[in-house]
């Protein structure tokens, strides 16, 4: 998992990334040594707080949640029972990063399916 | 304009000015002002328009005339200030250039002019004060702590560089009070009064702040000694998205929400969205018909707005600008427009780009406003909601 995440580190504009369970436990993160536990907890809280209303509106399943701020962006992509979060800067075109995220998501999805089958 | 028409205007001008002088009316004002504008006498037209506005400010025609002539005056002033900056650059010319740019809603141009001014004239108190004011406007828009700190830096520099001018430290004191640093504000007001003992505004501000401090100390909300940590107060405001201690804050948000609602019909047309709404910082939502009660859409938009703001600020990404939630069943987009968020619910997943473009158009003022059915007046809404 970490190996896949490390591919994101070289993507222009990407500041950090993490894979977490939907209840906020960090599975892997880059860059190394940065404490992202609280970020994962916040993201889990965000997902929980919107889940019920989104279901009532028929806005399911979630494909992508993007929070854009003045100094950067946060992308959240659910992958099976996990979620991938990417923090990127606010100025770089996110196209390449998004493609990388999509590729990574697909790989993670395959991996999670294999894990489930195991 | 042809020579004959101009000659005719010259002949008619004195008669039209006399008519306005002898029997002032909106029609007389309009004729005189238009004649002056056709003759290229923008500043005289502006003086007359201001006189007319003072007399007939309830008249729609006069208000529109005032707006048009005001714009012409600003354009004229901007060109003159640009020429002055090129031929005889002084700090005052840069500050004038910035002020005219603000009048023409070119805030970025004003920032550039003032930053260039400070690069060339770092000791210009007027430029620091003007830049402080601009940053304060930006701070009021998205409550970023970083902007608030810059306001303080510039206003303090302006005060230090020209201690004889009392309006700048008073502005600093007012800003400190607005963010909740009342003791720091009181100290500034007291310092101003050391130099300007009779200054009526300083006395009024000092007295009102002293009352707030005394009441706060008695209630235990303000420490008996020492100034507040202003940076920490600014961070708290950024996180909560509200200026709790500022009585004008609720009114500002309510006015802004009223203004944004008028653009929702055009936004719906532009984006083809299912629903469009305005979400206020405290989570109340409205559409063009008025306030919306609790519903899954309102709950979702309010939750995304609140938790999104909280998350990006914890990640130190600055104030939230937009939220995009894409699902197989549709999308919800929220875009910040000053302090509120405007949202669209799209039932087609591929409509996201159209939705984003529509929201950008709204924020940039490219959508037309629709006159709305009168809703509860802003003052009544604010009075009912004292928090």
CA distance B332 to chain A (A): 8
Flag residues of chain B having pLDDT under 50: 386-387
Are B130 and B98 in contact by the 8 Å Cβ rule? The answer is yes
A46 contact B CB<8A: yes
pLDDT at A117 over 50: no
User: What is the model's pLDDT at position A116?
Assistant: 45
B325 contacts in chain A (CB < 8 Å): 50, 54, 59, 62, 64-65
Q: Which pLDDT value is given to residue A16?
A: 86
Question: Mean pLDDT, to the nearest integer, of A7-17?
Answer: 80
Global ipTM: 0.88
**pLDDT, tens only, B336-362:** 998 899 999 998 767 899 999 999 999
Residues ≥6 apart with Cβ < 8 Å to B57: B63
* Percentage, residues of chain A above pLDDT 90: 8
Position B217 scores a pLDDT of: 87
Distance CA A66, CA A80 (A): 18
pLDDT given for residue B169 in this prediction: 95
Angstrom distance (rounded) from CA B287 to CA B274: 12
To the nearest whole Å, the CA of B10 is away from the closest chain A CA by 54
The rounded distance, in Å, linking the Cα atoms of A97 and A115 is: 26
**What pLDDT is recorded for position B96?**
95
Kindly write down the DSSP assignment for every residue of B105-150, as one continuous string.
T-HHHHHHHHHHHHHH-TT-HHHHHHHHHHHHHHHHHH--HHHHHH
Whole-angstrom distance, CA of residue B134 vs CA of residue B126: 12
Tokens found for residue A88: 């990127």
Closest C-alpha to B323, from B304, B344, B350, B299: B304
Note the pLDDT of residue B247: 72
A80 has pLDDT over 50 = yes
pLDDT digits (tens, 9 = 90+) for B188-232: 999 999 988 889 999 999 999 999 999 988 888 888 788 889 999
Sheet holding B340-346, edge to edge: A26-30, A14-21, A82-88, A72-79, A62-69, B320-327, B330-337, B340-346, B275-279, B285-287, B290-292
Residue of A57, A65, A70 lying closest to B318 (CB–CB)? A70
Q: Closest by alpha carbon to B249, among B102, B105, B378, B107? A: B378
B350 shares contact with chain A (CB less than 8 Å)? no
CB-based contact (8 Å) between B311 and chain A? yes
Q: Tell me the residue ranges of DSSP E strands in chain B.
A: 275-279, 285-287, 290-292, 320-327, 330-337, 340-346
State the Cα–Cα distance between residues B320 and B141, nearest whole angstrom: 12
- In this prediction, residue A17 carries a pLDDT of 87
Do B327 and A50 lie within an 8 Å CB cutoff?
no
Q: What is the pLDDT of residue B53?
A: 93
Helices (H), A25-94: 37-56
The answer to whether the pTM exceeds 0.80 is no
Q: In the prediction, which pLDDT does B239 show?
A: 77
d(CA B144, CA B243): 11
Question: CB–CB of B231/B237 below 8 Å?
Answer: no
CB-CB neighbours of A52 under 10 Å: 13
A78 contacts on B by Cβ (under 8 Å): none
Interchain CB contacts (distance < 8 Å): A and B: 114
Report CA torsion sign: B236, B137, B133, B52. Answer: negative
């Amino acid at each position: 998992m970490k190996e896949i995440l490390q591919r994101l580190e070289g993507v222009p504009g990407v500041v950090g990334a993490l894979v977490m369970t939907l209840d906020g436990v960090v599975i892997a993160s880059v860059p190394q040594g940065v404490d992202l536990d609280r970020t994962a907890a916040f993201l889990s809280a965000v997902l929980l707080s919107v889940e019920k209303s989104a279901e009532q509106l028929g806005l399911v399943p979630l494909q992508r949640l993007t929070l854009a701020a003045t100094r950067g962006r946060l992308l959240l992509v659910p992958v099976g029972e996990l979620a991938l979060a990417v923090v990127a800067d606010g100025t770089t075109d996110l196209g390449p990063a998004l493609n990388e995220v999509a590729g990574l998501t697909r790989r993670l999805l395959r991996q999670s399916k294999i894990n489930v089958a195991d | 304009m042809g020579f004959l028409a101009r000659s005719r205007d010259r002949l008619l001008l004195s008669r039209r000015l006399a008519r306005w002088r002898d029997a002032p009316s909106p029609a007389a004002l309009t004729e005189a002002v238009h004649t002056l504008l056709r003759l290229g006498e923008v500043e005289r037209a502006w003086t007359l328009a201001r006189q007319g506005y003072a007399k007939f400010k309830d008249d729609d025609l006069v208000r529109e005339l005032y707006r048009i002539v005001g714009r012409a005056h600003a354009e004229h002033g901007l060109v003159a200030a640009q020429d002055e900056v090129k031929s005889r650059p002084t700090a005052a010319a840069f500050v004038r250039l910035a002020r005219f740019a603000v009048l023409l809603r070119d805030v970025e141009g004003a920032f550039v002019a003032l930053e260039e001014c400070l690069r060339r004239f770092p000791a210009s108190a007027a430029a620091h004060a003007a830049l402080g004011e601009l940053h304060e406007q930006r701070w009021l828009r998205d409550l970023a702590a970083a902007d608030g700190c810059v306001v303080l830096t510039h206003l303090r520099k302006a005060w230090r560089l020209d201690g004889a001018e009392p309006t700048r430290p008073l502005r600093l004191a007012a800003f400190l009070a607005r963010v909740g640093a009342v003791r720091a504000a009181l100290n500034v007001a007291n310092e101003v009064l050391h130099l300007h003992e009779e200054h009526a505004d300083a006395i009024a501000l000092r007295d009102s702040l002293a009352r707030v401090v005394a009441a706060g100390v008695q209630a235990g909300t303000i420490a008996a000694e020492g100034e507040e940590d202003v940076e920490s107060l600014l961070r708290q405001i950024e996180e909560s998205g509200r200026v709790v201690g500022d009585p004008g804050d609720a009114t500002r948000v309510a006015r802004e929400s009223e203004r944004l609602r008028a653009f929702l019909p055009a936004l719906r047309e532009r984006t083809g969205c299912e629903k469009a709404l305005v979400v206020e910082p405290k989570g109340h939502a409205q559409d063009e018909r008025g306030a919306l009660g609790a519903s899954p859409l309102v709950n979702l938009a309010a939750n995304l707005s609140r938790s999104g703001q909280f998350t990006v600020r914890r990640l130190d990404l600055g104030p939230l600008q937009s939220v995009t939630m894409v699902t197989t069943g549709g999308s919800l987009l929220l875009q910040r427009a000053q302090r509120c968020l405007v949202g669209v619910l799209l039932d087609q997943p591929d409509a996201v780009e159209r939705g984003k473009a529509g929201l950008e158009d709204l924020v940039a003022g490219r959508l037309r406003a629709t006159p709305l059915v009168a809703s509860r007046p802003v003052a009544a809404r604010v009075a009912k909601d004292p928090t």
